[in-house]
Amino acid sequence: MNRLQNKIAIITGGNSGIGEATAKLFAAEGATVVITARREDELKRVRDEITAAGGQCVYVPGDVTVTADVEHVVAETIDRFGRVDILVNNAGIPDSHKRVAWVTDEFWDTVHDTDLKGVMRFCRAVLPHMEARNYGSIVNVCSIGGIYYCAGAAYSSAKAGLRGLTVNMAIQYFSTGIRVNSVSPGSTLTPLFNPDNMGDVDVEMMEITAQRHYQDRTAGMLQPIQQAYAILFLASDEASGINGQDIVVDAGGRL
């Protein structure tokens, strides 16, 4: 307990799935969490559940694809708490395992704008505040799709780019007290796997990629909290000697 005592943490996509689990875990470990996402009703729900459990949480609605929204979230955090100690870039969208021949320009741009450029926007807004204090921890939620390229074309390339961005920032800020790491989740039971979100999935592509790793593509499904614990470790001072690294959390499914 209290591994993040008195830390101020921004968590994007904090209204569901891995982001929600991370926000609740961070709050239980003593952090004040600022959650942001597009759906305000879900942000309110998570905020209320955290505060009911005795944690500290506020929410600021925003869209990671809108620069003004990103800057507003960071400005609100600074105005209220004076600093940002931790940034968890979790917000992202899937690409339904669409192969290249099925990807339109618009679809490609939408996935990359959210999953890669959205992270850049938040880092760009937060880093000057962290650098002024020579302290900060950024954890980017990548994916095994960005390591083993086992998702669709748009998602795999965006997450591979995010892994590259993570290492690049770690190099840039090596001489400061800022660390930048990532977690690469395997298949995790989040709302993205709800039937309503699976209607346009390229099932054949999923089967092709699953054959390389899982005999059963439902094997190795994890819970969001299992990803949150890895994020917690990298965000905490316990990982003060870790920078530019990635933790794959997939229950060994890619071994």
For the beta carbon of residue 107, count every other beta carbon within 10 angstroms: 16
Q: Report the distance separating Cα 249 and Cα 63, nearest Å.
A: 27
Q: Report the distance separating Cα 48 and Cα 54, nearest Å.
A: 10
- 59, 155, 173, 214: which is the annotated catalytic residue? 155
For residue 229, indicate whether it is catalytic: no
Are 176 and 134 spatial neighbours (Cβ–Cβ below 8 Å)?
yes
Q: Enumerate the active-site residues.
A: 155
